[in-house]
Amino acid sequence: MPTSKYLKSLVISSLLFMGVAHAADIPKEVTRFVGELGISSESVRATPAKGIYELLVGTQIFYITADGKYLFAGNMLDLATKENLTDTRMKGVRLNTMSAVADDQYISYNSDKPKHTVTIFTDIDCGYCRKLHSEMDGYNKLGISVKYLFFPRTGPGTESFNKAISVWCNKDRNTALTDAKAGKSLAAATCSNPVAKHFQLGSEMGVTGTPYIITEQGDTLPGYMPPAALKRELDKFKAAAVQLEKQEISKR
């Protein structure tokens, strides 16, 4: 998992460029707009761009002009530093969102010598999810631990959704998930389960396809990647995080 120092650095970094705007500092036009949408004013932040405010809706970022006339989405870039400010902010949002998920709400395949941990939204009937899972030993041997959340793309009440519930309700969830992803039939089962919460969380985070990989630093990776390729990417993200942590320390 990411170090507490890194997480603190990332949160501080995102707050620095998206300064928290107190209610009195938010233009009345913006306050009126978010009020009409039923969104808390606490979801509004100032940005480094004069007259532009950030609006966080769930885990999605939008920008609104101070006069309340224009709402838009996209990446805000700092041309001086070349930093994607929206991306930096989103990493913090993702990590904050994922921190609310308890460890016992995942199905995990842990490496004996962990170097990285990824969270993956998965669909039992997704072809590339099955391919990724079939190479789990390869990921684990390279020091990559995997934590699964369910995201049956067909939605609640469907066969894929019910399969996820049956896996969760099995006494041996790890074996059941491996069997299900191998195309084996599982006995239908029901119990108290987090599948609907997983699906809702994925939807709020903008997941549309699987596997959807989230790194310890809050970055996302699109789709399946072979073990060696994934490790290279994770090594890069970790190195960048270490560099950021050093920069934050040097500023103190």
Tell me the catalytic residues.
Answer: 123, 126, 129, 153
Task: Tell me the C-alpha to C-alpha distance, in Å, between residue 229 and each of 128, 215, 243.
Answer: 15, 14, 22
Alpha-carbon span 44 to 214, nearest angstrom: 25
- DSSP code string of 126-183: -HHHHHHHHTHHHHHHTTEEEEEEE--TT-TTSHHHHHHHHHHTSSSHHHHHHHHHTT
Yes or no: say if 124 and 177 are a contact pair by the CB < 8 Å rule. Answer: yes
Q: Which of 113, 199, 125 is nearest to 156 (CA)?
A: 199
227, two tokens: 């073990």
Give the DSSP letter of residue 20.
Answer: B
Strand partners of residue 213: 120, 221
Rounded CA-CA distance 206/203 in Å is 5
